[in-house]
Structure 1
Amino acid sequence: MPAYTPVNLPASPALDHLVEEVAVAININGINHAVMMATPDDLDDFAVGFLFGEGIIRHNHEVHDIQVTPAEQGIVLDVTIANRSLAALTEHKRRLTGATGCGICGVAAVEQALPALSVLPLTPPLDGALLAGLRAQIAQWQLKGQQHGALHAALALDAEGRILHCREDIGRHNALDKLIGLLLRQHSACDTLVVTSRCGSELVQKAARFGARHLICLASPSQLAVRLALKYNLNVVHIPKFDAPVSYSSYRPADPIGECHESY
């Protein structure tokens, strides 16, 4: 038997400085709908934004009550929604239920991943002057990110490029859900949303469903994200860390502002 020399390793570092992540079970009118891994902050905003992003609700007033209950291994969100909203939930469940191995079911799953959304009115791209110093502004608002790191942020800007709200989460989708939920609960319209993460197709869909005209991302968008954004007339702006911003827009100077057209 080989001899091993014991080594006195330093004690494990404390975990208090690390970001918290928990399982969040979302129950809708007593029916379990989903379990998401999330940062356990602003969960009322998260519940509203998540249901809105799923197409289950269209307005905040369709949510009658939210109960947040700590559980042994996570958190349970019991959400009560209007009876008329249950039809959307039932349809959502129906589309996800079917015999495995069926080609039709596979097609339905793809359609569920890429839902048809309303085309937004054409809007000119953002003035580049509004983007100057935005990264520095964002850093000042990411209070939890500064403390723990490993957090994505989603932010809302006013017409002058000033930050109005910020929500953070370990998941980029969750951060945007929390922000949109906050805006819906406050009955606040917002044309410009910002995500500190890469911009995937699902973030474009969430922004377009909310009715935002501009989505700013600090990491590159995917090809599909840009194609969907152009289809919805959502302007996407990528602000690299060092290079000049890149704008993706279906708007052309000759287009009448406010009109809708589908751009592919």
Structure 2
Amino acid sequence: MIRAAHRTAHFREIFADGRPAADHPRAVPYETPIAIEFNGIGYAVMMASPVEIEDFVTGFAIAERLLPRDGAFADIAIHETDKGIVVRANLPAADVAPVFERARRRIAESSCGLCGIENLAALDRPLPPVSAPLTLAPEAIFAARDAIGAHQSVGNETGAVHAAALCRPDGAIDLVREDVGRHNAFDKAIGARARMGRAGDHFALLTARCSYELVEKAIVADLGALVTISAPTTLALDRAKAAGLPLYVLARRDSVLAAL
């Protein structure tokens, strides 16, 4: 198996104005099943871009509340097979109980909704309050929005992946992760931050719709604010307000909406 972000495919472009069809290559992102096991227990199967896998699984575990927000795995192994990738990570013995309690086999598409959660009560799980909410200056949001494109190497090649950036309060971008799934990209960014031991205030900028899942990931990771380039859902607004997460949506290079 090739662990890469994208490959070249060939297409025939057909025009509406009667011009002759033209053949040309185009970069297409890889989408690969990644099976995640914690302490030998199959927990989830996710469709994701097969790069920065350690970041992805770490961020996923933080979002699932299996690791602390600044945690990392002491032991993680990646096994490539002809059907996909298997990642085996070990949690400390004291933290394994939630895996047994909530273990489920999920096949999640990049547009997943509840991702196999069987109990609707999970939507109302208490969220920790954001410890240091950030009131962002508009200039910081515009600076990050203007700069993120230069960090989207796979997105610029393919036009088919999402990006998640972690930014300083002044809008400077510290890191960016990309993936075919918007949830996966955010997990990778959160995981990278934890694995690098980076501290300090960050807000997230996501090239995605502002869904409640992304709001909850930002809250659990204790980010100071969340900025998205698209609109929020009602549940996203409610969950952000409940945890005190500042939310900025429909971010453009010259305007943004701050949720009240």
Which structure's residues are more often helix, by fraction?
A: 1
Spell out the pairing of 1:1-264 with structure 2 (5 A cutoff).
Answer: 17-58=27-68, 61=71, 63-93=73-103, 109-121=119-131, 123=133, 125-189=135-199, 190-241=201-252, 244-249=255-260
Number of the residue aligned with 2:10: none
Taking the aligned partners of 2:242 and 2:150, their CA distance within structure 1 comes to: 34
Provide, for residues 92-124 of structure 1, a one-character-per-residue CA deviation record: whole Å limited to 9, x for no partner: 239x9xxxxxxxxxx971122332111224735
In the alignment, residue 257 of structure 2 is paired with which amino acid?
V
**Secondary structure of the corresponding residue to residue 68 of structure 2:** coil
Per-residue CA deviations over 1:165-210 (Å, capped at 9, x if unaligned) read 0000000000000000001111223431111101100000000001
**2: distance between equivalents of 1:121 and 1:31?**
32
Which amino acid is the alignment partner of residue 96 of structure 2?
A: L
SS at match of 1:168: strand
Distance (whole Å) between structure 2 residues aligned to residue 66 and residue 194 of structure 1 = 28
Residues 40 and 244 (structure 1), Cα distance of their counterparts in 2 relative to 1, 3 Å cut:
same
Quote the Cα distance in structure 1 between the aligned partners of 2:180 and 2:149: 16
Residues 227, 241 of structure 1: CA spacing in aligned structure 2 closer, same or farther, 3 A cutoff?
A: same
- Partner AA of 1:204 in structure 2: V
Contact 1:62-1:82 within 8 A present in 2 as well: no
Give the conservation status (yes or no) of the 8 Å contact 1:45–1:180.
yes
Q: CA deviation at 1:239?
A: 3.4
Aligned counterparts of 1:208 and 1:157: Cα–Cα separation in 2 = 15
Whichever residue aligns with residue 241 of structure 2, its letter is L
**TM-score normalised over the length of structure 2:** 0.80
Q: Is the Cα–Cα contact under 8 Å of residues 56 and 88 in structure 1 kept in the other structure? A: yes
Distance in 2 (CA, whole Å) between partners of 1:231 and 1:123 is 13
Indicate how the Cα distance of structure 1 residues 93 and 159 shifts in structure 2: closer, same or farther if over 3 A, else same: same
Q: Aligned with 2:242: secondary structure?
A: helix
What secondary structure is seen at the aligned counterpart in 2 of 1:118? coil
Deviations 1:28-80 (A, max 9, x none): 11111110000001000001111111111215656221111111111111112
Unaligned runs of 5+ in 2: 1-20, 107-116
SS at 1:174 equivalent: helix
Seen in structure 2, the aligned counterparts of structure 1 residues 157 and 128 have a Cα distance that, compared at 3 Å, is same
187-196 or 76-85: which moved more?
Answer: 187-196
Separation in structure 2 between the aligned mates of residue 188 and residue 70 of structure 1, nearest angstrom: 29
4+ long deviations beyond 4 Å: 10-14, 59-62
- Per the normalisation by structure 1, the TM-score is 0.79
Structure 1, unpaired ranges of 5+ = 1-9, 97-106, 250-264
CA distance in 2, matches of 1:236, 1:61: 25
Further displaced range: 219-228 or 236-245: 236-245
Asked if the contact 2:140/2:170 (under 8 Å) is kept, the reply is: yes
Q: Distance in 2 between matches of 1:74 and 1:209?
A: 29
2:67 alignment partner, SS class: coil
Cα offset for 1:227?
Answer: 1.0
Partners of 1:229 and 1:154 lie apart in 2 by 18
CA contact (8 A) 1:196 1:217 kept: yes
1:213–1:233 contact (8 Å) kept in structure 2: no
